[in-house]
Amino acid sequence: MTLYVSEIRHRPFSQTARQYLQLTKPRVVLLAVFCAIIGMFLATDAMVPWTVLMSGTAGITLLAASGFVLNCLIERHVDAQMLRTAHRGSARGEISMGAGLVFATVLGCSGSLLLYLFVNPLTMWLTIATFVAYALVYTVLLKPRTPQNIVIGGASGAMPPVLGWAAVTNDVTAPALVLFLIIFVWTPPHFWSLALYRVEDYRRSCLPMLPVTHGSAFTRLNVLLYTVMLVVVTLLPYLIGMSGEFYLVSALVLGALFVRYAWQLWRRYSDALARKTFSFSVLYLALLFGALLIDHYL
């Protein structure tokens, strides 16, 4: 704790705050929390209780942030080799392991307490398991060992809507698992699009990402195949009676656009197109879940 306080004293507060905020991966947290909130609203035909909405959102946010901080600390030496992540305080040595662990612990304990006291223990334990699995199982065991790391590790990233569902119902039922499956299948084409134009970063870091181990053409084919699979999976909410025609049309239109990007990426690759595909994949997921929510209240 003394080291933690000492680090803060020797830098302007705004700079210190910005460095610690970067470790939480705020944009990724925002997308995860958005999916969790959608899960909350889809879990009930009424309005989500105010206490559950606020405490559940805050608790999941804090625990997600804690998991991402741990991820940055564990991968600090890898991050230092990559242009995309070399600016992080942990990679530059400006945030020590001890200070980072204190920060992650405060975030994690605060989030756990909020979920336990104001939501329910099931949501707390599921959220802890999700982000510990991401920070440890994915980061330590999977990412450095197999090019299928993002496929297997995608299970952690697919959990937010399940967490939101559990926060409202204190249960995990079939519709929640459908939401999980959508994000699980979405993750590979989303992440591999990024890996394609960041391949040199991953090659320098010695991480066995698919474009490094199997080449660009094989990766692009997998992006296309997973995207087609994703379109099929996104039909499940309609097929099980979870959604109506508004969602169905939205899913088909968004899916067609995603497949178009994936097809172009496979046929005529460029870094610029890979960047566009990656950016669209984020927008795709937000619009798809937004359509689910609108359809739910139509």
Cα separation, 116 vs 55, in Å, equals 10
Rounded average pLDDT over 33-54: 95
Residues 183 and 202 in one domain: yes
Among the candidates 151, 170, 189, a domain finishes at 170
Rounded average pLDDT over 264-284: 97
With cut-offs at 50, 70 and 90, classify the pLDDT of residue 75: confident
Residues 242 and 166 in one domain: no
Residues 21 and 161 in one domain: yes
Of the candidates 77, 69, 227, 64, the one whose C-alpha atom is nearest the C-alpha of residue 131 is 64
Structure tokens that stand for 31 in this block: 């997308």
Q: What is the CATH number of the domain that holds 102?
A: 1.10.357.140
How many alpha carbons fall within 13 Å on the CB side of residue 241? 0
Residues 219 and 157 in one domain: no
With cut-offs at 50, 70 and 90, classify the pLDDT of residue 10: low
**Whether pLDDT at 81 is above 90:** no
The pLDDT tens digits for 89-127 are 788 888 889 999 999 999 999 999 999 999 999 999 999
Residues 164 and 181 in one domain: no
With cut-offs at 50, 70 and 90, classify the pLDDT of residue 9: low
Among the candidates 119, 136, 170, a domain finishes at 170
**Whether pLDDT at 213 is above 70:** yes
Of the candidates 68, 281, 84, the one whose C-alpha atom is nearest the C-alpha of residue 187 is 281
Residues 15 and 135 in one domain: yes
Residues 128 and 7 in one domain: yes
Q: How many domains does the chain have?
A: 2
Of the candidates 95, 90, 86, 79, the one whose C-alpha atom is nearest the C-alpha of residue 11 is 95
Residues 204 and 158 in one domain: no
Q: Is this model's pTM higher than 0.85 or not?
A: yes
Expressed as residue numbers, the domain containing 231 is 173-298
Residues 196 and 244 in one domain: yes
